[in-house]
């Protein structure tokens, strides 16, 4: 066997064993950390996130606690700061509408909600109009005090909201405090901007909405206020008087308080082409949360196709519209309405269930737009009423009884006595209520158009009249109704009179606790 060279044997010799301590050291050594790439958000992204948190937290804080209750003159009000793009001041006077003032330019708006009139303070102004001379100073002091309290409360609300949301999002006290500090800075900047741009003269040029849209006719423009201040004081006194009556009729009669489940029906009639009626109806639908509108006819004046465009706003009133034909509405008018969305035309005793109530109606058999011919007179309407009553009996026999019957003329509506709990009519241009011999209640509506084009034929313009009817959702029976009346073309008065059905009158078994009767 050949010998292996010594040089090769030296190479193949095994390495010596490492000492135990060295081996243990290598065995217990931690692995080298791996290199990770940590991406940090861009500074602008972090800033945008912080600003978003601040704005959202500030808004939530204002929403929860940023309001104060302040007596202003004869009124009890609630003042609130709200985020806004244009700023300004909004005064809500429900259910009349709202006034908007360009009082300042800032990212916050001042909302003032008139909750109610203080009866004692308002009555003192009504009884002593001379006190109006000092009312301006009193109101100024009240608003100053309220604004100071609102500013302090808003600061606390904004800082607290932004800090709390910052802590919830970032979970670091320093970032939360930074959010609170930024919120306070933004609020201070907004307040400074509002103060620098404050326009005290904006109260002379308000923007009106709702039923107050005609209010400029009450107080005139800024020039007339300067030149005829005595007249302005008298008109302001009358406005205070009328608003006092309105709130007296609605807020001091707790005998019937409709709940959210109550079905609210707005009854209108005899609009006679008055375009102002649509704005009034839309405002009432919004303010009273109306579920359905019932129009008992004479919406038009001559019933021509050229007038049909007048009906288009019905689609945007915000509630289903139930309609029957009047003696000034033609078949052309009826066909046009049948093509509009959200409109339900009833005729020949046809019945429909709308908003939880079942309605049936019949159109006026006569068409007399020129008021010179009476083709059938009362006999034609009595025949129409008899056909409607027959339809009501058929509905009852079929197990689908009607809750409300509708006709244009009261002559026809009276024939439904005993067949339906409530009948609605119009035509006579003034409000009436009858309890018919067999138990049917007949509600006759006035002219919601203030008699339209004929408003100025008499010595005084006809008032604009409409009603809110309150129905129990379970029994579908009438519980109460509010008669609303606006004073003619100028809308210089506003009155609401509430009425209860007999079983809900104070003192009747099962009725609410007696309440003081309101003056209307």
pLDDT at residue 136 in the model: 57
pLDDT at residue 348 in the model: 95
- Quickly tell me which residue has 């006819």 as its tokens: 297
Q: How confident is the model at residue 35 (pLDDT cuts 50, 70, 90)?
A: very low
How far, in Å, CA of 241 to CA of 244, rounded?
Answer: 5
Residue 421 has pLDDT above 80, yes or no: yes
How far, in Å, CA of 471 to CA of 266, rounded?
Answer: 11
Partners of residue 100 on adjacent β-strands: 90, 207
Total domains, the chain: 2
pLDDT at residue 184 in the model: 83
Q: How confident is the model at residue 258 (pLDDT cuts 50, 70, 90)?
A: low
490 within 8 A of 481, measured Cβ to Cβ:
no
Q: Which of 151, 160, 149 is nearest to 58 (CA)?
A: 160
What count of other Cβ atoms lies within 10 Å of the Cβ of residue 297?
28
Q: Are residues 396 and 451 in the same domain?
A: yes
Q: Are residues 317 and 381 in the same domain?
A: yes
Q: For 319, list phi and psi in degrees, rounded to 5.
A: -155, 155
17 domain-assigned: no
pLDDT at residue 313 in the model: 95
pLDDT at residue 139 in the model: 65
483 within 8 A of 465, measured Cβ to Cβ:
yes
Q: Are residues 409 and 485 in the same domain?
A: yes
Q: Give one DSSP letter per residue of 374-393, joined into a string.
A: -SSHHHHHHHHHHHHHHHHH
377 within 8 A of 383, measured Cβ to Cβ:
no
32 domain-assigned: no
pLDDT at residue 254 in the model: 40
Q: Are residues 245 and 195 in the same domain?
A: no
Residue 329 has pLDDT above 90, yes or no: yes
216 domain-assigned: no
| pLDDT (mean) for 46-74 | 78
Residue 362 has pLDDT above 80, yes or no: yes
pLDDT in tens, 462-507: 788 999 999 999 999 999 898 888 765 444 566 777 788 876 655 5
Q: Are residues 383 and 258 in the same domain?
A: yes
484 domain-assigned: yes
By three-state DSSP, how is residue 221 classified? Answer: coil
- Quickly tell me which residue has 């038009």 as its tokens: 300
Q: Tell how strand 321-323 and strand 404-406 pair up.
A: unpaired
Least confident window among 73-82, 83-92, 116-125, 128-137: 128-137
6 domain-assigned: no
248 within 8 A of 519, measured Cβ to Cβ:
yes
Q: Which of 408, 404, 437 is nearest to 423 (CA)?
A: 404
Q: Are residues 257 and 307 in the same domain?
A: yes
Q: Are residues 398 and 295 in the same domain?
A: yes
pLDDT at residue 52 in the model: 85
| pLDDT (mean) for 440-460 | 77
204 domain-assigned: yes
Q: Are residues 280 and 151 in the same domain?
A: no
| pLDDT (mean) for 344-349 | 97
| pLDDT (mean) for 359-369 | 92
353 within 8 A of 263, measured Cβ to Cβ:
no
Range of the domain at 464: 233-502
Least confident window among 36-50, 157-171, 217-231: 217-231
Q: How confident is the model at residue 267 (pLDDT cuts 50, 70, 90)?
A: very high
pLDDT at residue 342 in the model: 94
Residue 65, judged by CB atoms within 10 A of its CB (0-12, 13-18, 19+), counts as: middle
Least confident window among 20-29, 153-162, 475-484: 20-29
Residue after which a domain boundary falls, among 142, 177, 210 = 210
> Is the model more confident about 304 or about 25?
304
| pLDDT (mean) for 314-336 | 95
Residue 260 has pLDDT above 90, yes or no: no
Q: Which of 268, 271, 259 is nearest to 473 (CA)?
A: 259
13 domain-assigned: no
| pLDDT (mean) for 255-272 | 84
Residue 27 has pLDDT above 80, yes or no: no
pLDDT at residue 228 in the model: 45
Which two three-digit tokens encode residue 475?
């029994």
In percent, how much of the chain has pLDDT > 90?
31
259's enclosing H/E stretch is none
Chain centroid, CA 112 distance in Å: 15
- Quickly tell me which residue has 């979970």 as its tokens: 171
Residue after which a domain boundary falls, among 148, 178, 210 = 210
Q: Are residues 253 and 141 in the same domain?
A: no
How far, in Å, CA of 138 to CA of 333, rounded?
Answer: 55
pLDDT at residue 507 in the model: 52
CA dist 449 → 65, 261, 455, 478 (Å): 43, 30, 8, 25
Please count the CA atoms within 13 angstroms of the CA of 349 that sit on its side-chain side.
19
The per-type count for the chain, helices as H runs and strands as E runs, is 13, 19
DSSP-derived secondary structure letter, 228:
T
385 within 8 A of 416, measured Cβ to Cβ:
yes
| pLDDT (mean) for 47-51 | 79
Residue 511 has pLDDT above 60, yes or no: no
Q: Which of 125, 105, 283, 281 is nearest to 208 (CA)?
A: 283
pLDDT in tens, 286-307: 888 899 999 999 999 888 888 8
Q: Are residues 199 and 267 in the same domain?
A: no
| pLDDT (mean) for 355-374 | 83
Write down the pTM of the prediction.
0.59
pLDDT at residue 13 in the model: 58
pLDDT at residue 110 in the model: 84
Q: Are residues 327 and 382 in the same domain?
A: yes
Residue 263 has pLDDT above 90, yes or no: yes
| pLDDT (mean) for 206-234 | 46
Residue 220 has pLDDT above 60, yes or no: no
User: How confident is the prediction for the chain on average, in pLDDT?
Assistant: 76
27 domain-assigned: no
Residue 371 has pLDDT above 60, yes or no: no
Q: Are residues 258 and 363 in the same domain?
A: yes
Least confident window among 28-37, 200-209, 269-278, 386-395: 28-37
Q: What CATH number does residue 286 fall under?
A: 3.60.21.10
């Amino acid at each position: 066997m050949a010998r292996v060279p010594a040089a090769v044997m030296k190479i193949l010799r095994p390495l010596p064993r490492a000492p135990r301590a060295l081996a243990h050291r290598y065995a217990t050594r931690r692995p080298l950390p791996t290199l990770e790439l940590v991406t940090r958000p861009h500074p602008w992204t972090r800033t945008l996130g912080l600003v978003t948190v601040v704005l959202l937290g500030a808004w939530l804080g204002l929403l929860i606690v940023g309001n104060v209750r302040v007596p202003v003159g004869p009124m009890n009000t609630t003042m609130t700061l709200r985020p806004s793009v244009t700023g300004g001041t909004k005064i809500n006077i429900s259910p009349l509408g709202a006034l908007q003032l360009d009082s300042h330019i800032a990212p916050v708006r001042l909302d003032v909600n008139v909750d109610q009139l203080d009866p004692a303070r308002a009555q003192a102004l009504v009884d002593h109009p001379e006190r109006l001379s000092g009312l301006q100073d009193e109101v100024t002091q009240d608003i100053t005090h309220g604004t100071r309290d609102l500013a302090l409360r808003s600061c606390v609300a904004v800082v607290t909201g932004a800090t709390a949301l910052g802590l919830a999002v970032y979970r670091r006290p320093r970032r939360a405090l930074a959010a609170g500090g930024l919120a306070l800075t933004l609020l201070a900047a907004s307040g400074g901007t509002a103060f620098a741009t404050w326009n005290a003269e904006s109260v002379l040029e308000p923007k009106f909405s709702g039923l107050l849209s005609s209010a400029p006719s009450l107080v005139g423009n800024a020039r007339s206020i300067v030149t005829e201040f005595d007249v302005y004081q008298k008109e302001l006194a009358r406005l205070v008087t009328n608003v006092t009556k309105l709130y007296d009729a609605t807020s001091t009669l707790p005998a019937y308080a409709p709940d959210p489940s109550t079905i609210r029906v707005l009854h209108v009639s005899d609009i006679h082409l008055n375009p102002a009626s649509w704005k009034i109806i839309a405002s009432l639908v919004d303010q009273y949360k109306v579920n359905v509108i019932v129009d008992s006819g004479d919406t038009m004046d001559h019933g021509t196709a050229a007038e049909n465009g007048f009906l288009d706003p019905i689609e945007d009133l915000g509630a289903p519209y139930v309609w029957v034909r009047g003696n000034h509405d033609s078949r052309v008018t009826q066909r046009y309405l049948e093509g509009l969305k959200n409109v339900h035309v009833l005729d020949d005793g046809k019945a429909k269930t709308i908003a939880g109530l079942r309605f049936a109606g019949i159109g006026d058999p006569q068409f007399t737009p020129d008021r010179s011919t009476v083709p059938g007179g009362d006999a034609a309407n009595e025949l129409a009423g008899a056909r409607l009553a027959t339809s009501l009996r058929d509905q009852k026999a079929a197990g689908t009884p009607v809750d409300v019957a509708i006709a244009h003329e009261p002559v026809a509506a009276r024939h439904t006595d005993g067949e339906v709990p409530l009948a609605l009519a119009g035509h006579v241009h003034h409000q009436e209520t009858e309890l018919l011999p067999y138990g049917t209640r007949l509600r006759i509506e006035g002219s919601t158009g203030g008699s339209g084009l004929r408003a100025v034929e008499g010595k005084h313009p006809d008032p604009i009249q409409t009603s809110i009817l309150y129905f129990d959702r379970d029994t579908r029976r009438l519980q109460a109704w509010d008669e609303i009346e606006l004073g003619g073309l100028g809308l210089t008065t506003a009155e609401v009179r509430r009425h209860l059905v007999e079983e809900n009158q104070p003192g009747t078994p099962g009725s609410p606790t007696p309440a003081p009767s309101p003056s209307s």
